[in-house]
Chain A
């Protein structure tokens, strides 16, 4: 900064600390709730200090689940979420990088048409095509399956555009040098282009993993079998029964566990996350 103004500096830090606390507060409260016994909530207002039931709550949810509410054990939902997020992230990257490769490194008929078909997916988020997509998935017999959960979310114009943009910045000479070195297109793709794109792939992976993890509406539609519940969906199912049995500690434990994996991804891979976020949205 240009100059030093102690008052302004103190104010800045005060605003930031307040901001951090406000942002974290709801999660703190949820965590506290998950450490208490179910009885703690009947007495009225929620306590603000941790209880001593943390171990019991989490082991019950992870192990057996919450039978009364008809929810499967959390580990199952967590693994479903992981499978879904990984499939979507990897699938999106795989199909996008291949099509971007085709669009940038080949000249062929219908190239523009292909580009526009991919472009259109930008304008059709799953939220606007719920019912007919559901019908397609149902007709294909993919309800209550991992394929049904992931495939309709997997085509991604943003990822294709990102790779296209990145490929355009890869020096022409790399491809030419590899041609002189005797590498055909797929060899160039595997030996040179993929390794060179690795940071972009990783950054995109972080974003797409989160995208896959937080999906809610689509799993809500296509999974009626609880073996395919994702954890995000599981929370809602637990809440649906909460009017009868307000087991807040169990619900909040689920909430905490649903947040941990994607939040950890963001925190541990912050640099890639920021890169992915700012580059996919251009």
Chain B
């Protein structure tokens, strides 16, 4: 890894400069993570007196536990729906903003602020709108003979958290799509126009392929977001229910570990989650490397 061409010679200074970050990292990141790995191989008895090494049995148990596999499936459905919904809408809005030159900044301002809304707050907002007793949307849905009650219907609960999570993420995706669109060379579009391509054709044959790096990058980021940052959305709206209909992997770590006090299982789940993050990070970095080599 690079440094500057000429560097300072001090012996101790660099260690002092690194110390704050390294100490915090070791105490609050590395140490807890290794504890998680350690206790994922252990079982503690009900009174917390005795801890025994149990090998991979925690993993074996959760991987054969229907409720864990259920959470895995729910997380996948949730991730795909949120990603598709928020990226689709964001792309549509970005394309539109990219078309209107003069008012682009105005629309951008009005579209980016949800980024700053906490996931819990996003959850509360939509939960309020969908509230079966006083919410606005169930009333509207009633006209179409749809009976909305996400406290009873698992799929409706999933729709609710998907909308809330996607709503918050649109602004992020929008900004990156807009940046991607703005970096498409104007000359390419003009060349295509001279070749007689209609605006829609130009978009699909020229602009969209050029956006593919952005799209891929956002895909990874969105999956990451849905997996880890939507805890607040779920906790504010469905609490993982009804039944286990909206139980995601992170939410399950929390309920098993904090509410259920099943440290062994919760740790094993944490370790599996770390595996997923490492995989996502790896894909992301491979991709960044490739992008650099263009």
Binding site for B on A (CB under 8 A): 1-3, 5, 8-9, 12-13, 15-16, 19-20, 23-27, 29-30, 33, 41, 44-46, 48, 94-96, 98-99, 101-108, 111-112, 114-115, 117-118, 120-125, 127-133, 135-137, 151-152, 154-155, 160, 168, 172, 175-176, 179, 184-186, 210, 213-217, 220-221, 232-233, 235-236, 239, 246, 248, 251-252, 255, 258-259, 262-263, 265-267, 270, 273-274, 277-278, 281-282
The reply on B47 being an interface residue by CB < 8 A is no
B97–A239 CB distance below 8 A: no
Besides the known contacts A16-B107, A216-B231, 4 further A-B residue pairs in the complex with CB atoms under 8 A apart = A27-B125, A127-B229, A278-B179, A282-B288
Distance in Å: Cβ of A217 to nearest Cβ of chain B: 5
Determine the distance from Cα of A270 to Cα of B110 in the docked complex, in whole angstroms.
11
B31–A16 CB distance below 8 A: no
Q: Residues of A contacting B22 with CB < 8 Å?
A: 99, 114, 117-118
Q: Which of A106, A160, A239, A248 contacts B13 (CB 8 A)?
A: A106
The reply on B219 being an interface residue by CB < 8 A is no
A23–B110 CB distance below 8 A: yes
The reply on B93 being an interface residue by CB < 8 A is yes
- The main secondary structure of chain A at its interface with chain B is helix
Distance in Å: Cβ of B93 to nearest Cβ of chain A: 5
Query: How many contacts A-B (CB < 8 Å)?
Result: 295
Q: Which of B111, B125, B128, B281 contacts A122 (CB 8 A)?
A: B281
Q: Residues of B contacting A136 with CB < 8 Å?
A: 27-28, 31-32, 35
Q: Residues of A contacting B8 with CB < 8 Å?
A: 105-106, 184-185
Q: Which of A9, A112, A122, A262 contacts B1 (CB 8 A)?
A: A112
- Chain A residue nearest to B231 (CB atoms) is A217
A106–B128 CB distance below 8 A: no
Distance in Å: Cβ of A120 to nearest Cβ of chain B: 7
Q: Which of B28, B99, B258 contacts A1 (CB 8 A)?
A: B99
Distance in Å: Cβ of B208 to nearest Cβ of chain A: 17
B118–A23 CB distance below 8 A: no
Q: Residues of B contacting A132 with CB < 8 Å?
A: 31-33, 35-36, 39, 267, 270
> Interface residues of B, CB < 8 Å — how many?
98
A273–B267 CB distance below 8 A: no
B267–A168 CB distance below 8 A: no
Q: Residues of A contacting B146 with CB < 8 Å?
A: none
